[in-house]
């Protein structure tokens, strides 16, 4: 296999990993604060629709991005209301949010654009275009390093770089700031946070809001970066894969990067089944590649390869004794 | 002292939640420029207006009874089986194998074998998540979600590969043999001289679903196993104290749950499609969550909720034919029902509890209150 | 003294949880620089009152004055700002954080952690020297003992510059030696001018350390006295509202053949901690063996192994027949079938299903019993209901309604329900844990009588209680447990609280 092909696969890996990474970090903030979120999928989906729709109407992808984040935040707000304010079941709330998003996006798309549940195709400033990093032209002809820089590192949309920057940022916020200390504490023992004079509700809503923003960016990336417009159910289970990656990474930011890139790589391979056959000399079923992230996560969950221990107060609404 | 009367918990709260979901749905319909009252009438008529429409409503109802019962049984053991969809589609595989690869003299025997096959396949697919929960503490919600996708990938592989008939371009099995075709309502009611629409898919598995309701009721409230399941669901430490084996309860209740979900495919695969197609469940496994929540995990409640959702699905389909409202409206209503009856339960419950407490605090009038009102 | 401004004054505090009135019009004054005890039975409302003062709960009505100034305390933040610190009975620590991280949580200086941690490290060193409060700042909470965890809680309060420190039942989890250490810390704090409120239900602690004492009973404040002018009997009477019968009327025991023989019983928990380190004892027919000890020294595990839901190794003989301790061939069900009944320590967590009705609870654990079976599959619900009605009469459970859910009975009646189920099966061996915890005084007498009656009927009883008085008045023989071992056996009329206390602290009686 030649360098070009490898670069193509890796480039696809980056593109496919980014939405997973953003959603995974979104889930990380929420779950570290003790709020389980299986509604990542729904939040990504509304944002994918809303950002594409607004970008199509206004012609500005940035306005679209803001609208997408806003829509995602609305669902995050519902999740917060249900699981923090009314102490409901977080899993059930997540299920409801996914259905809500799946239904509402088509309803709105049909009502606004009458194109069978999709938005018009985006072009020009209405979508995030690939940007070239400095010196691409100069370096292009240097062997090996040139193509790697030009095709793999450079030439992605701004959101890709934002997503990558989010990893060290998340790590820093979590382990080096007051906010992070309180966030982790509220996911482990909310009573400790409460009696220390910090609002549990405030911390958890903050976490859920960050989760909303990040899944909003993830959704916007899907419809305005990766593709040029919204189509029905376009998240295609990415929210669940992100959830799997979150468990796989044991709720840690750098591991989240690795897990999402692994799963993104599997998705990229699934697009090129011929390659795998060439390398391994056996035909690998595409379906196996599709299922692999889930199978790996189940194995991790089973604790046979390093046990994934979720935040201790995860999934439990905070109720003072009695 | 009870915080509020039982009837309020069982009837009032679901009804209020349903009303809230209805109101918001109406607002959504208005927002997309349609008339909610007209839409409601189209849906009611679409679901119940003719024998044909009833035939579809009851067909959907059958699906939802099975998946609703599946979720309900797991709920009683305090487990959230979100994998009903995967179990139902693998159950469909069981039905397909029974129907295609075994020779049957009569549909009744085929039905019996298919029931066993679907239940076994559904249960088997719930076994690994159950075992992992019981033995390794892996959260059943996450593992069953993962298994939904694993199941989908598996079926995808089988239906584009080994199970696809030669020369076919469609990812589906071939048509089942004629002999495995089970009677639909037209055939059954026809025996009693009652005319019923020939084309509607409601079939004999509706009665199997009703029987399953009774069986689950007896299981939960009359048998020792049901007693142990409920005890475990209420308190795991207490169950251990009482000598109830947690592993056994987790595994057995998930097997029952998976079997019920799997048996749904008697209706959609054997009764309607008469072959196995991709995505045969059409999300019915998830609707089971809404049905179980609304039905308060009681078989009778599940039956009523399934009927309601059956009407909703059929009504929604007709609505999308007759108006510009897409069929996804049903998804929105379903989401709202899950939200209000499940996650936002306390929003309705807490004010009501306060209300009942306030009513009780008032000194009761000296003579017995008149039965009126 | 009444001229000085109280550090804390509460006026007319009331608080209800749903239909339960936890605090009713309570007023109290606590003078600065004193140790003020608040004593009362379990469930008297002491913790609720102090949680209100700390802003953890919100009072329905009433006023709070701190140093003479009316102060609103809507949340813990406000309490901390008012100079109040609280050490809860169940520590509020993040288990997988370090001591340092726990101390600064909520009291960080600025956005970044590094400077806060450095400052806290410095201060902790000072506080440790000043008050004998040493803890390793970098240790994880889950790796240090309860005594150290409690010191972290005190450090947390002091780090927040608390002048008023509330401690809720601080000695419940401590050995007498650790409790002495705590009291020395409290004396040091008092010397530095801090005001301390000590919530407890133990008279001994009140007499030992407090200056003033307030007594609560059933959500109300029933008396304020200065410790120097009172006596334990007076306080006890205030607490329970009438003269307490400290001794149970019972005939001397006439022990028969050994019913339960335990040899070298060991339990190791999932974390690899040794809970039982090889204990041996026997209980004879017609006697009560009391197990004394501070909570958490292996008593719970002992009951659980014997009850069949905790794995152990070693030899257990019931009426000479071996019983499998490893649970490979036995469980709670086979234990019951072989004649062991068990009243567990925590009736709400284990003994009852709170959402089940009384009749469902009467079958609980015995739901496999032949008389409750219709067939192999089905239960005979009508028979269980009839049996329940009978048992409720016999054990005076009120209201005698088999259909009522367990959660709707009072603590005492819940306990009677459990006793009705366990004693009425006429077991050879009865395991009883904390039989009167959270039970009102009238029910205590009844429960004690039932236990003694079973003994007089020639049955063997193993009684575990953290209430030394209960052990001393009920048991025919006393074994003291410490750190998974039996430190010694004594006869109740040949020992005293002091000697037992030393054994409970892990010091052998002979050395004392």
Structure-derived torsion over alpha carbons of residues C340, C344, C347, C352, reported in degrees to the nearest 10:
-30
* Chain C residue whose CA is closest to B233: C353
- Are the Cβ atoms of B343 and A38 closer than 8 angstroms? no
Q: Does C60 contact chain B (CB < 8 Å)? A: no
Task: Provide, as residue numbers in chain C, all residues whose Cβ is less than 8 Å from the Cβ of A193.
Answer: 105-106
pLDDT given for residue B265 in this prediction: 96
Distance (Å) from the alpha carbon of C346 to chain A's nearest alpha carbon: 16
Which residues in chain A have their CB less than 8 angstroms from residue B83's CB? none
CA–CA dist B185, C468 (Å, integer)? 74
Bridge partners (DSSP) of residue C220 are C217
Q: What is the mean pLDDT of residues A10-14?
A: 94
Classify domain C245-339+427-512 at the CATH topology level: Rossmann fold (3.40.50)
CB proximity under 8 Å: B 270-289 to A:
286, 289
Task: For residue B345, give the chain A residue with the closest CA.
Answer: A88
Residues of chain B with pLDDT under 70: 1-3, 362-373
| Predicted local confidence at residue C219, as pLDDT | 87
Specify the pLDDT at position A305. 64
Contact B238 C349 (CB under 8 A): yes
Q: Do A99 and B335 touch (CB under 8 A)?
A: yes
CB A253 within 8 A of CB A24: no
C405 vs B contacts (CB less than 8 Å): 2
Query: Do the Cβ atoms of A195 and C86 come within 8 Å?
Result: yes
Closest-CA distance of chain B to residue C405, Å: 9
**Residue A1 has what pLDDT?**
63
Locate the domains of chain C by residue range: 8-240, 245-339+427-512, 352-426
pLDDT at B362: 62
Q: Confirm whether pTM is higher than 0.95.
A: no
Distance separating alpha carbons of residues A275 and A43, to the nearest angstrom: 34
Distance from the B224 Cα atom to the nearest Cα atom in chain C, whole angstroms: 6
Min Cα distance C331 → chain B (Å) is: 6
Average pLDDT, chain A: 91
Distance between A178 CA and the closest CA of chain C, angstroms:
5
Q: Which residues in chain B are contacts of C352 at CB distance < 8 A?
A: 238
- pLDDT tens per residue, range A173-185: 999 999 999 999 9
Under 8 Å between Cβ of B213 and B69: yes
- The verdict on B339 touching A (C-beta cutoff 8 Å) is yes
A231 in reach of chain C (CB within 8 A)? no
pLDDT tens digits, one per residue of A149-164: 888 888 899 999 999 9
Cβ pair A263, B172 in contact under 8 A: no
**Would the CB atoms of A198 and C57 count as touching at under 8 Å?**
no
Cα–Cα distance for residue pair B229/B28, rounded to 1 Å: 41
Q: What is the pLDDT of residue C146?
A: 84
> Which residue carries 């298994």 as its tokens?
B147
Q: By the CB < 8 Å criterion, does C408 face chain B?
A: yes
Q: Which helix (H) or strand (E) holds A136?
A: helix A136-139
- Examine residue C399 and say whether the peptide bond preceding it is cis (omega within 30 degrees of 0): yes
* Token code pair at residue B38: 């007209």
A188 contacts chain C (CB < 8 A): yes
Q: 3-state SS of C238-264?
A: HHHCCCCCCCCCCCCCCCCCEEEEEEE
A173 at interface of C, judged by CB pairs closer than 8 A: no
> Cβ A320–C54 below 8 Å, yes or no?
no
Q: Do B332 and A89 touch (CB under 8 A)?
A: no
Question: B241 exposed, middle or buried (CB, 10 Å; 0-12, 13-18, 19+)?
Answer: buried
Domain boundaries, chain B: 61-298
Res C206: pLDDT: 87
Query: What was the ipTM of the complex prediction?
Result: 0.91
The dihedral sign for the CA sequence B353, B355, B361, B367 = negative
Please indicate whether, in this complex, the C-beta atoms of A181 and C108 are within 8 angstroms of each other.
yes
Query: Per the CB < 8 Å rule, is C350 touching B235?
Result: yes
Contact across the interface for A287 and B334, Cβ inside 8 Å: no
* Residue in the block written with tokens 């600025």: C110
Q: Using CA atoms in the order C110, A191, A26, A234, what is the torsion angle rounded to 10 degrees?
A: -160
A59-62, long-range: CB < 8 A, 24+ apart = A59/A124, A59/A125, A59/A126, A60/A125, A60/A126, A61/A122, A61/A125, A61/A126, A61/A127, A61/A128, A61/A224
What are the residues of chain B with a beta carbon less than 8 Å away from any beta carbon of chain C?
A: 1-3, 218, 222-225, 227-228, 230-231, 234-235, 237-238, 240-245, 357
Asked if the Cβ–Cβ distance from B223 to C379 is below 8 Å, we say: yes
Test the B interface: residue of C378, C385, C407, C414 with most B CBs within 10 Å = C378
The residues, any chain, with a CB within 8 Å of residue C155's CB and separated by 6 or more, are C99, C103, C124, C127, C133, C135
Inform me whether the C-beta atom of residue C356 falls under 8 Å from chain B C-beta atoms. Answer: yes
Which among C332, C349, C379 is the nearest to B227, CB-wise? C379
Strand pairing of C35-40 and C20-30? unpaired
Distance from the Cα of B342 to chain A's closest Cα (Å) equals: 6
Measured between alpha carbons, how far apart are the two ends of chain B, in Å? 23
In this predicted model, what pLDDT tens digit does every residue of A184-215 receive, in sequence order? Answer: 999 999 999 999 999 999 999 999 999 999 99
Low-confidence ranges of chain C (pLDDT < 50): 1, 509-512
3-state secondary structure of A293: helix
**Which chain B residues are within 8 Å of C371, Cβ to Cβ?**
none
Q: How far apart are CA C512 and CA C509, in angstroms?
A: 5
- Residue C506: phi and psi, rounded to 5, are 90, 10
Angle between helices B13-31 and B36-48 (to 10 degrees): 120
pLDDT number for residue B1: 47
Per CATH, the homologous superfamily of domain C8-240 is P-loop containing nucleotide triphosphate hydrolases (3.40.50.300)
pLDDT of amino acid A314: 87
pLDDT at C511: 41
Q: Min CA distance, A232 vs chain C (Å)?
A: 43
User: Considering only alpha carbons, which residue of chain B is nearest residue A301?
Assistant: B138
3-state SS of chain B is CCCCCHHHHHHHHHHHHHHHHHHHHHHHHHHCCCCHHHHHHHHHHHHHCCHHHHHHHHHHHHHHHHHHHHHHHHHHCCCCCCCHHHHHHHHHHHHHHHHHHCCCCCHHHHHHHHHHHHHHHHHHHHHHHHHHHHHHCCCHHHHHHHHHHHHHHHHHHHHHCCCCCCCCCCCECCCCCHHHCCCEHHHHHHHCCCCCCCCCCCECHHHHHHHHHHHHHHHHHHEHHHHHHHHHHHCHHHHHHCCCCHHHHHHHHHHHHHHHHHHCHHHHHHHHHCCCECCCCCCHHHHHHHHHHHCCCCHHHHHHHHHHHHHHHHHHHHHHHHCCCCCCHHHHHHHHHHHHHHHCHHHHHHHHHHHHHHHHHCCCCCCCCCCCC
Which chain A residues are Cβ-neighbours of B289 within 8 angstroms? 92, 95
**A320 at interface of C, judged by CB pairs closer than 8 A:** yes
* Structure confidence at residue C270 (pLDDT): 79
Q: Which residue among A111, A237, A297 sits closest to B33, beta carbon to beta carbon? A: A111
- The full set of domain ranges for chain A reads 19-128+136-236
Residue B342 touches chain A, beta carbons under 8 Å: yes
Q: How far is A314 from chain C (nearest CA, A)?
A: 14
């Amino acid at each position: 296999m030649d360098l070009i092909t490898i670069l193509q696969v890796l480039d696809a890996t980056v593109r496919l990993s980014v939405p997973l990474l953003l959603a995974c970090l979104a889930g990380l903030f929420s779950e570290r604060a003790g709020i389980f979120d299986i509604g990542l999928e729904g939040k990504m989906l509304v944002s994918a629709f809303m950002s594409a729709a607004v970008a199509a109407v206004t012609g500005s992808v940035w306005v679209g991005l803001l609208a997408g984040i806003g829509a995602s935040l609305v669902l995050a707000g519902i999740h917060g209301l249900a699981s923090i304010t009314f102490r409901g079941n977080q899993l059930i709330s997540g299920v409801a949010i996914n259905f809500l998003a799946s239904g509402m996006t088509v309803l709105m798309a049909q009502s606004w654009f009458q194109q069978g549940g999709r938005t018009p195709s985006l072009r020009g400033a209405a979508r995030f275009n690939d940007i070239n990093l400095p010196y691409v032209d100069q370096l292009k002809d240097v062997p090996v390093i040139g193509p790697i820089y030009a095709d793999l590192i450079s030439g992605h949309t701004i959101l890709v770089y934002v997503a990558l920057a989010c990893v060290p940022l998340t790590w820093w916020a979590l382990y080096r700031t007051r906010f992070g200390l309180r966030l982790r504490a509220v996911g482990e023992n909310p009573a400790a946070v409460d009696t220390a004079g910090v609002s549990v509700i405030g911390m958890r809503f903050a976490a859920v809001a960050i989760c909303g923003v990040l899944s909003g960016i993830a959704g916007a990336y899907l419809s305005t970066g990766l593709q040029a417009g919204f189509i029905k159910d376009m998240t295609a289970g990415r929210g669940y894969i992100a959830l799997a990656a979150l468990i796989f990474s044991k709720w840690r930011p750098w591991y989240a990067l690795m897990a999402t890139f692994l799963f993104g790589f599997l998705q990229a391979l699934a697009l090129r089944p011929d390659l795998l056959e060439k390398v391994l000399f056996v035909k690998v079923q595409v379906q196996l590649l599709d299922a692999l992230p889930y199978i790996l996560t189940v194995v991790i969950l089973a604790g046979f390869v390093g046990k994934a221990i979720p935040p201790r107060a995860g999934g439990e609404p905070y109720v003072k004794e009695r | 002292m009870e915080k509020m009367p039982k009837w309020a918990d069982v009837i009032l709260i679901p009804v209020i939640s349903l009303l809230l979901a209805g109101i918001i749905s109406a607002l959504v319909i208005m927002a997309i420029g349609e008339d909610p009252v007209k839409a409601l009438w189209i849906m009611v008529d679409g679901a119940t207006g003719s024998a044909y429409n009833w035939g579809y409503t009851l067909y959907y109802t059958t699906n939802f009874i099975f998946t609703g019962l599946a979720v309900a049984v797991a709920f009683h053991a305090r487990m959230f089986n979100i994998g009903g969809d995967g179990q139902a589609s693998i159950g469909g595989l069981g039905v397909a194998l029974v129907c295609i690869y075994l020779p049957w003299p009569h549909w009744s025997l085929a039905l019996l074998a298919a029931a066993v096959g679907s239940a076994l396949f559904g249960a088997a697919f719930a076994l690994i998540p159950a075992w992992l929960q019981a033995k390794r503490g892996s959260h059943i919600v996450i593992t069953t979600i993962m298994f939904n996708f694993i199941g989908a990938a598996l079926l995808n592989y089988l239906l584009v590969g080994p199970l696809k008939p030669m020369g076919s371009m469609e990812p589906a099995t071939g048509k089942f043999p004629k002999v495995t075709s089970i009677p639909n309502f037209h055939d059954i009611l026809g025996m009693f001289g009652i005319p019923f629409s020939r084309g509607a898919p409601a079939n004999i598995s509706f009665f199997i679903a009703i029987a399953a309701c009774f069986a689950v009721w007896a299981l939960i409230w009359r048998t020792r196993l049901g007693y142990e399941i409920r005890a475990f669901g209420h308190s795991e430490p207490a169950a251990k104290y009482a000598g109830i084996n947690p592993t056994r309860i987790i595994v057995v209740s998930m097997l029952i749950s998976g079997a019920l979900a799997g048996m749904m495919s008697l209706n959609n695969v054997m009764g309607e499609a008469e072959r196995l197609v991709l995505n045969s469940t059409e999300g019915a496994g998830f609707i089971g969550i809404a049905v179980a929540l609304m039905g308060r995990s009681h078989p009778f409640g599940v039956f009523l909720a399934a009927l309601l959702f059956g009407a909703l699905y059929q009504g929604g389909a007709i609505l999308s034919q007759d108006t510009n409202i897409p069929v996804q409206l049903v998804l929105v209503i379903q989401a709202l029902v899950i939200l209000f009856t499940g996650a936002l339960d306390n929003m309705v419950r807490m004010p009501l509890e306060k209300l009942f407490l306030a009513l009780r605090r008032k000194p009761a009038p000296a003579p017995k209150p008149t039965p009126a009102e | 003294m009444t001229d000085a401004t109280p550090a804390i004054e509460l006026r007319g505090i009331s608080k209800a949880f749903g239909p339960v009135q936890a605090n009713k019009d309570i007023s109290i004054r606590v003078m600065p620089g004193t140790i003020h005890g608040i004593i009362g039975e379990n469930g008297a409302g002491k913790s609720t009152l102090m949680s209100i003062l700390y802003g953890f709960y919100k009072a329905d009505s009433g006023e709070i004055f701190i140093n003479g100034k009316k102060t609103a305390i809507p949340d813990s933040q406000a309490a901390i700002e008012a100079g109040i610190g609280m050490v809860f009975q169940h520590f509020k620590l993040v288990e997988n954080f370090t001591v340092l991280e726990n101390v600064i949580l909520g009291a960080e200086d600025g956005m970044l952690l590094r400077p806060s941690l450095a400052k806290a490290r410095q201060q902790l060193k000072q506080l440790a020297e000043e008050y004998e409060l040493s803890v390793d700042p970098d240790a994880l909470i889950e790796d240090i003992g309860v005594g150290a965890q409690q010191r972290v809680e005190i450090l947390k309060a002091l780090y927040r510059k608390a002048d008023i420190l509330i401690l809720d039942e601080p000695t419940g989890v401590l050995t007498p030696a650790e409790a002495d250490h705590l009291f020395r810390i409290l004396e040091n704090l008092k010397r530095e001018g801090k005001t301390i409120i000590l919530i407890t239900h133990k008279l001994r602690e009140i007499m030992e350390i407090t200056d003033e004492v307030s007594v609560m009973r059933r959500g109300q404040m029933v008396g304020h006295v200065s410790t120097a002018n009172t006596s334990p009997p007076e306080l006890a009477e205030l607490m329970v509202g009438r003269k307490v019968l400290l001794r149970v009327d019972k005939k001397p025991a006439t022990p028969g053949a050994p019913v339960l023989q335990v040899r070298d019983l060991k339990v190791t928990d999932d974390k690899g901690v040794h809970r039982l380190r090889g204990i041996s004892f026997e209980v004879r027919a017609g006697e009560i063996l009391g197990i004394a000890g501070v909570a958490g020294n292996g008593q719970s595990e002992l009951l659980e192994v014997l009850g069949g839901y905790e794995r152990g190794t070693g030899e257990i003989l019931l009426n000479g027949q071996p019983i499998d301790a490893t649970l490979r061939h036995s469980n709670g069900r086979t234990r019951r079938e072989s004649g062991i009944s068990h009243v567990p320590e925590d009736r709400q967590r284990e003994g009852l299903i709170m959402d089940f009705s009384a009749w469902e609870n009467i079958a609980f654990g015995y739901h496999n019993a032949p008389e409750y079976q219709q067939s192999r599959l089905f239960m005979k619900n009508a028979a269980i209901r009839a049996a329940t009605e009978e048992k409720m009469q016999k054990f005076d459970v009120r209201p005698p309604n088999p259909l009522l859910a367990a959660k709707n009975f009072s603590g005492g009646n819940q306990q009677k329900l459990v006793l009705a189920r366990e004693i009425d099966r006429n077991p050879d061996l009865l395991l009883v844990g904390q039989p009167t915890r959270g039970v009102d005084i009238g029910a205590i007498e009844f429960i004690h009588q039932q236990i003694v009656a079973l003994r007089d009927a020639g049955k063997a009883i193993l009684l575990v209680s953290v209430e030394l008085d209960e052990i001393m008045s009920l048991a025919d023989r006393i074994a003291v447990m410490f750190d998974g071992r039996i430190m010694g056996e004594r006869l109740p009329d040949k020992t005293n609280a002091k000697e037992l206390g030393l054994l409970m602290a892990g010091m052998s009686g002979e050395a004392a």
